[in-house]
Amino acid sequence: MDSQLQNAPTFKRSLKLYHLTILGVAYMTPMIVYGMYGVIAVTSHGQAAGAFAIGVVAMFFTAYSYCHMVKAFPIAGSSYTFTRQGLNPKLGFMTGWMILLDYLFIPMAIWLIGSSYFEAAIPAVPRWAWVLIFIFVTSALNIIGMKIGANVNIFMVLIQIMIILAFIIFSVKAVMAGMGEGRFTLTPFFNPDVPFDFVVAGAAISCYCYLGFDAITTFVEEAVEPEKNIPRAIMLTLLICGLAFAGASFFTTLAHPSYDFANVDNASYEVAKIIAPPIFASILLIGVIIAQFASGVSAQASGARLLYAMGRDGVLPKKIFGVLNGKFNTPVRSIIVTGIIALLATTLDVATSTSFINFGGFIAYIFVNLSVIFHYFVRKKARGIGSVIKYLICPALGALFVFYLLIHLDKSAIILGCSWAVVGFIILLYLTNMFKKEPPEMTIDE
């Protein structure tokens, strides 16, 4: 048995800081700012930049908690591992189950959005065909290995950044030509005529764009010096995307301060046609498609690695999920399962597939913040001013911020999320024989 364990394939530590950061940025997708701009601008009454700024501050506290927990438990599994080790195995399972909802449905939503844009560009090819292409290509890249996937994502992210910069340049030129505000002002961040409640409501929506920074923690076992590079990559990812989202929306609002759009879902496309040459609208379309592909690579990889962690732990069937492929050192079976689940995208629409994504993410974030408090402040009895701030005040604020967002989700998301939680609870009862024993213990790899 020991020799079999020693000969079992393990992840190759090949991901450096820039690989990890690129994966995180690709997962969050910089171009999502233009996909969400219209909804946030309308909700915040033209204060999209301020909403994004508040959103990133709210997420900072949870990201800080992830940094603490990854130092304590450097093993693949993300919030599942941290809650299991920081609180207890039963809550760990439920957290993993809720974040699994997030990871399994985000790739499907991403591929649906990308396929919809492809269908708009080439109507002769049906959307279901584009969905299949997305699934096949993305799964192949992840099976080959994440370093290859990371290198592909570098190219994808660079293209997104170039398009965002081009949009900003056109916005600046428009303002200098007298369009929009006709001058540079901070009103997109703060306008005394707009009630703060509207800006906060926009910030709650903007946090959808920040979901995914935690995906970096699922690559702990492939990272070089994970205790140092994973926390740095988390904060860098959040900083880069926060600046990109707030900056892009700031200049877009300056060039087009009105939030009365013909179609709120295509607001950025509408603005681009007004302030930029016609060809740029087509480039923006291509950019969105590329962004969905890049994000899909990271999203599927994260979901597959979470399935692997739960399979290795015996929570899910180990023979299916808890093994790595001997040739590629990747969880091939878990990757294939995520691709099969994504086939549902051929029969669903974007609204249905994304309605309860936030629910799973917010539940996981709350428990990670609580895990910091219980692991460091309660269990390890970390005291002193610095420890109180790091291990009590900051995670408590993080949990409160996220809980505030959670209770403001729409009713359908809460109902669907609770239904998923009930299924997970039933599985937990089975695994623990009605709580008479603990769920299978986590095997920590050195």
DSSP 215-266: GGGGGGGGBSSHHHHHHHHHHHHHHHHHHHHHHHHHHHHHH------S-GGG
Query: What is the pLDDT, as a whole number, of residue 349?
Result: 64
Confidence of residue 398 (pLDDT cuts 50, 70, 90): very high
* Continuous H helices in 14-145: 17-28, 32-43, 48-72, 79-86, 89-121, 127-144
- Identify the weakest region by mean pLDDT among 44-53, 238-247, 338-347: 338-347
Over residues 432-441, mean pLDDT: 82
Crossing angle of helices 357-372/79-86, nearest 10°? 40
Q: Any bridge partners for residue 15, and if so which?
A: 223
Which residue is associated with the tokens 């290198």?
151
What mean pLDDT is reported for the chain?
84
Confidence of residue 355 (pLDDT cuts 50, 70, 90): low
Q: Are 95 and 425 in contact (CB under 8 A)?
A: no
Query: What is the pLDDT, as a whole number, of residue 111?
Result: 84
How does pLDDT run across 57-90, given as a tens digit for each residue?
A: 889 999 999 989 888 887 765 687 888 888 988 9
Every domain of the chain and the residues it spans: 15-431
The yes-or-no verdict on residue 163 having pLDDT over 80 is: yes
Query: What is the pLDDT, as a whole number, of residue 99?
Result: 79
Q: Are 424 and 94 in contact (CB under 8 A)?
A: yes
Query: What is the pLDDT, as a whole number, of residue 151?
Result: 66
Length of the chain: 446
Which two tokens mark 182? 């006709």
The yes-or-no verdict on residue 34 having pLDDT over 90 is: no
Local structure of residue 409 (DSSP, 8 states): S
Confidence of residue 1 (pLDDT cuts 50, 70, 90): very low
Over residues 386-408, mean pLDDT: 90
Nearest to 78 by CA among 42, 102, 51, 44: 102
pTM: 0.79
Local structure of residue 373 (DSSP, 8 states): I
Over residues 90-101, mean pLDDT: 85
Query: What is the pLDDT, as a whole number, of residue 263?
Result: 72
Q: Are 265 and 41 in contact (CB under 8 A)?
A: no
Confidence of residue 445 (pLDDT cuts 50, 70, 90): very low
Return d(Cα 211, Cα 346) in angstroms, integer. 24
The yes-or-no verdict on residue 5 having pLDDT over 50 is: no
Q: Give the count of beta carbons closer than 10 Å to the beta carbon of residue 307.
A: 26
- Identify the weakest region by mean pLDDT among 81-90, 114-123, 273-282, 413-422: 114-123
Query: What is the pLDDT, as a whole number, of residue 123?
Result: 78
Q: Any bridge partners for residue 223, and if so which?
A: 15
Widest pairwise Cα distance in the chain: 74
CATH 3.40.190.10 corresponds to the domain 15-431: no
The yes-or-no verdict on residue 286 having pLDDT over 60 is: yes
Query: What is the pLDDT, as a whole number, of residue 320?
Result: 86
More confident residue, 345 or 169: 169
- Identify the weakest region by mean pLDDT among 3-7, 293-297, 331-335, 378-382: 3-7
Query: What is the pLDDT, as a whole number, of residue 446?
Result: 32
The alpha-carbon radius of gyration of the chain (Å, integer) is 22
Confidence of residue 443 (pLDDT cuts 50, 70, 90): very low
